[in-house]
Amino acid sequence: MTLDPQAKTYLTRVNDVTSLHGEHGEPKAVSKVEDFQIPVKNGDIKVRVYTPNERDSLPVFVYLHGGGWVAGDINEVDTLCRNIAHEAECIVVSVGYRKAFTHKFPIPLEDCYEATKWVAENCSMLNADKTRIAIGGDSAGGNLAAGVATMAQKYNNLSLAAQVLVYPNLDLTLTFDKAQSYRDNAEGYLLTTKGVFWAAQNYLGNEINRYNIFASALLNNDLENLPPTLIITAEYDPLRDDGAEYAKRLREAGVPVEYKCYEGMIHGFFWLAGIIDKGVQARSQVSNFLKDVFTTK
């Protein structure tokens, strides 16, 4: 498919900040929003908790924002988290993990894992259901979410109902000859292949970390017992094939997988529901997937 007209318009205007007002869409109503400082190894981080209504024992979606491990914050995904909380009828916990340049792997991942454990340990305070906790994120946040799910699988001390990975980066070995999408979409579509390499370099710090399965989920050869998974990718995105390959391998391992590549879309469209219709569709797909998983659970 050719580049979606709305995505094309966004790319022509992306450097004009004044022309992009409202790109995240209108925030939907939730019952309450609370910020907490929670302890992590050698410090503390902020989490923001969105509660959609006053029902008892709500399911929880822990969300990890993107930004190449070096940028982004919980404020940038505020509208997104409000809207998922509203649509999926679940608590959303947005994690303000520490970032590279100053905090390299595995610190951001450990922050996200500890935040998810904090949720599980504080379900009574949050009015949440400990048996229905899902993890998810976009881009670098998708990488971190896959890492959290892999850690939960290996350590067996955290139960997850699902994982949601939106155009995730899942192979930090960065062997670009393996993925056609790194060549097809090397530049011109917001995220570049060079940009992927730069972000990973700044996150990993050490060459050997590329091959750690908690950093590169595609290197995990034992995918059994991972939770039901939703993977969303974009056609014009260097990371497209990472998500497609992971979906394939999860299915082969017997993990229930829902996979969709949004035709004509670019990296970042999930945040752009105010100006790109398929961003609304993707957000609704995430919300519907979560509702289905939480109902089944």
Q: Which amino acid makes up residue 81?
A: C
Taking residue 148's Cβ as centre, other Cβ atoms within 10 Å add up to: 28
292 is catalytic: no
Give me 243's structure tokens.
């998500």
Cα separation of the two ends of the chain: 37
124 is catalytic: no
237 is catalytic: yes
Which sign does the torsion angle of CA 64, 66, 71, 77 carry?
negative
β-strand pairing of 58-64 with 91-96 = parallel
Identify the helix (H) or strand (E) that includes residue 43: strand 43-51
Is residue 43 packed enough to be buried (19+ CB in 10 Å), middle (13-18) or exposed (0-12)? exposed
Of the candidates 111, 138, 171, 237, the residue annotated as catalytic is 237
Query: Residue 111, SS3?
Result: helix
Of the candidates 94, 139, 181, 216, the residue annotated as catalytic is 139
Nearest Cα neighbor of 26 from 287, 296, 279 is 279
Give me 213's structure tokens.
């399965």
Active site residues: 139, 237, 267
